[in-house]
Chains A and B, each alone.
Chain A
Amino acid sequence: MLKVVEINNLTVQYPDVKALDDVSFIINQGDFLGIIGPNGAGKSTLFDSMLGLNTKYKGTIKFFGEDIRKSKNYLKEIGYVPQKPIFEKNFPVTVNDVVRMGLRNESDENRIDEILQQLWIHELSNRRIGELSGGQQQRVFIAKALVNNPKILILDEPVAGVDQQSIELFYSILRELNSKQKITIVWSSHDLDAVNQLANHVACLNRTLFFHGESKKFFSDDKLVRQYSEASMQEHMHHH
């Protein structure tokens, strides 16, 4: 199986805290990996490091066998959906404009229509992004992430503040992208049930990698699930 991502001994030390401690794992082509872990577990730090936004780490991160410190070419193969896309509410761009920003090959006009249709937002094409609901905006940002036909889709807890109906639609879109279009998905989430339903692999992160493997294995092991839940509950209480 083709290794898409290979992370070895990744450690990130911030001035006051160690955000990630010696994390190693592999993501294979076609994996649907759910990354779970409490707040402050290092999920965002992991993503920032993988995406080249944080370069102060020890260890190595390889995409398609190549160290990301050596070349930024791998970014072409990545579609990234941030946790909560920040933009000025009255920023004068339409849905079409936003998706077009992501398009590398600017002559590929049909691709924009195609992806808007696939995500059921074609009728919103000429609406301003700031006027849409959270769920609609989320689909626009997924469309932008997918417009270049990436091999990997990376999503950072992308259901915060989105209504239930949109979440379900979003999950069915993810499932289809992974099963039909064979896109490798890396998805961080708080929602254990959703990860259980969607992901075929799970990584439990709490500064160190607590578990990484098939999600069947994780969810059929009550002890593991309980340990994880207790750890994240403690962390939760610790934080509040």
Chain B
Amino acid sequence: MSLEILTYSFMHRALISGISIAILCSVIGLFLVLRRYSLFGDAIAHSSFGGIALGLLVGIYPLWTAYGVSIVSALIITKIKDKYNISGDASIAVLLSSGIAVGLVIIGLSGGFTIDIFSFLFGSILLVSVDDTILILSLTGVILIVILLLYRQILYSTFNEEQAKVSGIPVEKINYLIVFMAGITVVTSIQLVGVLLISALFVIPNVTAIMYGKGFKQTAIISMSLSVFSVVVGILISYVFDITPAGTIVLLSIGLLAGTMVIKSAGLLSKN
């Protein structure tokens, strides 16, 4: 029985999309975590909730309105944060609550909750279509290429903004680029774990990987591996035991983090 599930084409799509999203989230998430922006993914996801509600109200495919609303509001909040000198965590709180508020009001206007909203809130990776899979793969490819091309600039401005500026790196543009890519990544990943658990994919594998990796590339590769492992095993387990994939994936990834913490406090993980 266990191998049979690998022959279903919906399972192929789920696994391919899942692996792709796992890699994308862990890479973008590593930069966000290191910028002390861990909850930014969560905030964008919540604002995408407003976008989804808007799409359902006006009859546009909700994912498209989610992309629009999330990216625009993420860029606006970044601009406001710089201009009025609001701290990172406060700006995240503003973004997060305005998204939910807009969503709730729109849902009220449209006459109540629909079943569609729930699939966006909690994810529905097993229902991913061929078109979705192609979209996910292409966006992942484009974002990874951009990151590889601008690797030094992105890493340097994450490490120390001031020094990066003195080295002639356009730090502000890089910051907007990161926010923009994070926005796309979040909305793309909603199908896997939903709005509510998105920041788990951004943050948990990276927190674990930072404990293992020495250099940056090593840390990124460890994070991607942990993330892919949690997503693949999570999808399979959830199908076999008929439980929710999103929760299973996140719990597996928390399990890996907890295991690492135990290993570390037992002194088995050398510091050097």
A residues contacting B by CB (< 8 A) are 51-53, 72, 75-76, 78, 80, 82, 85-88, 90-94, 96-98, 100-104, 106, 126-128, 131
Contacts of A94 in B (CB 8 A): 214-216
Q: Given contact pairs A51-B165, A53-B166, A101-B152, enumerate 5 new A-B contacts (beta carbons under 8 Å).
A: A72-B168, A75-B168, A85-B163, A97-B215, A126-B215
Taking CB atoms and an 8 Å cut-off, the chain B residues in 29-75 that contact chain A are: 34, 36
Residues of A within 8 A of B210 (CB): 90, 92
Q: A96–B215 contact, CB under 8 A?
A: yes
Q: Name the residue on A nearest B212 (C-beta).
A: A92
Does A100 lie within 8 Å of B159, measured CB to CB? no
A92 CB contacts on chain B under 8 angstroms = 34, 209-210, 213-216, 218-219
The verdict on A98 contacting B159 (CB below 8 Å), with A51-B166, A72-B168, A75-B166 known, is yes
**A204 to B168, alpha carbons, bound, how many Å?**
29
Given A94-B214, A94-B215, A126-B215, CB of A101 within 8 Å of CB of B156: yes
CB distance from A147 to the nearest CB of B (A): 10
Contact A80 B166 (CB under 8 A): yes
Residues of B within 8 A of A126 (CB): 214-215
Say whether B85 faces chain A, with CB atoms less than 8 Å apart: no
Interface of B is mostly: helix
Q: Does B162 interact with chain A (Cβ within 8 Å)?
A: yes
B36, B155, B163, B209: the one within 8 Å of A80 (CB)? B163
Contacts of A51 in B (CB 8 A): 165-166
Give the docked Cα–Cα distance between A181 and B143 (Å): 42
Would you call the interface of chain A mostly helix, strand, loop, or mixed? loop
Indicate if the CB atoms of B168 and A131 lie closer than 8 Å: no
Cβ–Cβ contact B152 & A106, under 8 A: yes
Chain A residue numbers with a CB within 8 Å of B163 are 80, 82, 85
Residues on the A chain within 8 Å of B164, using CB? 101
- Closest Cβ of chain A to B269, distance in Å, is 13
Give every chain B residue within 8 A of A103 (Cβ-Cβ).
152
User: A126 to B217, alpha carbons, bound, how many Å?
Assistant: 12
CA distance A102 to B168 in the complex (A): 10
Which residue on B lies nearest to A93, using beta carbons? B216
B159 touches A131 (CB 8 A): no
- Nearest B-chain residue to A106, judged by Cβ: B152
| A72-B168, A92-B213, A126-B214 given; A87·B160 CB < 8 A | yes
With the chains together, A75 CA to B34 CA distance in Å? 26
A87 B159 Cβ-Cβ under 8 A: yes
B7 CB-CB contact with A under 8 Å: no
Q: Nearest chain-A residue to B211 (Cβ)?
A: A90
CB atoms of A82 and B162 under 8 A apart: yes
Cα distance A127–B165 in the bound complex, in angstroms:
25
Instruction: Give the CA-CA distance A22 to B216 in the complex, in Å.
Output: 45
Nearest A residue to B217 by beta-carbon distance? A97
B167 interfacial contact with A, CB 8 Å? yes
* Residues B215 and A93 in contact, CB atoms below 8 Å apart: yes
Tell me the complex Cα distance, A126–B271, Å. Answer: 12
Closest to B168 in A: A75
A163 to B250 alpha-carbon distance, docked (Å): 46
Residues of A within 8 A of B166 (CB): 51-53, 75, 78, 80
Q: How far is the CA of A189 from the CA of B272 in the complex (A)?
A: 34
For residue B36, which residues in chain A have a CB less than 8 angstroms away from its CB? 88
- Cα A94 to Cα B219 with chains together (Å): 11
A93 lies within 8 A of B159 (CB) = yes
Q: Mark B147-161, 1 if CB is under 8 A from A, else 0.
A: 000001001100110
Contact status B167-A85, CB under 8 Å: no
Partner of B159, one of A96, A101, A104: A101
Q: How far is the CB of B147 from chain A (nearest CB, A)?
A: 15
**Residues of A contacting B218 with CB < 8 Å?**
92
Question: Quick check: B214 and A101 within 8 Å, CB to CB?
Answer: no
Roughly how many angstroms separate A77 CA and B48 CA in the complex, as a whole number? 45
Write the nearest CB–CB distance from A145 to chain B, whole angstroms. 9
- Selected from B155, B162, B213, B272, the residue in CB contact (under 8 A) with A101 is B155
